[in-house]
């Protein structure tokens, strides 16, 4: 099935052949593609590597949890690191600075419960890039207050009565 197709595409690409796949299955493309071309409403939106596409069209940050929150905030601010407080006790630092933050915390003997780099998925990056190029939007002509249509009983539409 899908594993065979995925392996076939990768082996063809390894032979130096171009494999062109048109798909809306972003999770599958993330496992398969090395290079992306994104077209929206007839315009070329991206022609880049998978890693560059995700980096350019999404936010990468480091999520941090610590029981010594105020102390860590002081250390990070003193080091010139901009911190976003999420309100649930978690801190976020834009970029990929997890090693630097971990080293600062260790130097100041600050306990970390979480230090995890966060990167958007291909689907999230795709949605961010194509938000302005969406051709179809879900609209409802039915007002929210409109009564629901009467429900048919099972078999009501059967012509053999």
pTM for this one? 0.57
What pLDDT digit, counting tens, does each position of 91-123 carry? Answer: 999 987 899 999 999 999 999 999 999 988 888
CB atoms within 10 A of CB 99: 11
Residue among 26, 11, 15 nearest 123 (CA): 26
- Residue 48: closest CA among 33, 67, 26, 66: 33
Domain with CATH 3.30.70 in the chain: 61-118
CA–CA dist 17, 135 (Å, integer): 32
Residues in the chain: 161
Topology (CATH) of 61-118: Alpha-Beta Plaits (3.30.70)
**How does pLDDT run across 53-100, given as a tens digit for each residue?**
988 888 889 999 999 999 999 999 999 999 999 888 899 999 878 999
Separation of alpha carbons 59 and 50, rounded Å: 15
């Amino acid at each position: 099935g899908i594993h065979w197709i995925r392996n076939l595409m990768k082996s063809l690409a390894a032979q130096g052949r171009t494999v062109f796949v048109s798909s809306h299955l972003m999770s599958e493309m993330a496992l398969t593609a090395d290079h992306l071309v994104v077209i929206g409403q007839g315009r070329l939106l991206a022609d880049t590597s998978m890693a560059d596409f995700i980096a350019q069209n999404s936010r990468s940050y480091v999520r941090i949890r610590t029981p010594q929150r105020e102390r860590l905030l002081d250390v990070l601010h003193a080091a010139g690191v901009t911190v976003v407080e999420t309100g649930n006790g978690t801190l976020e630092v834009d970029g990929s600075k997890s090693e630097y933050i971990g080293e600062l915390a260790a130097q100041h003997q600050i306990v970390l419960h979480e230090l995890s780099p966060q990167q958007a998925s291909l689907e999230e990056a795709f949605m961010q890039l194509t938000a302005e190029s969406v051709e179809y939007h879900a609209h409802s002509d039915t007002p929210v207050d409109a009564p629901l249509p009467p429900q048919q009983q099972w078999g009501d539409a059967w012509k053999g009565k």
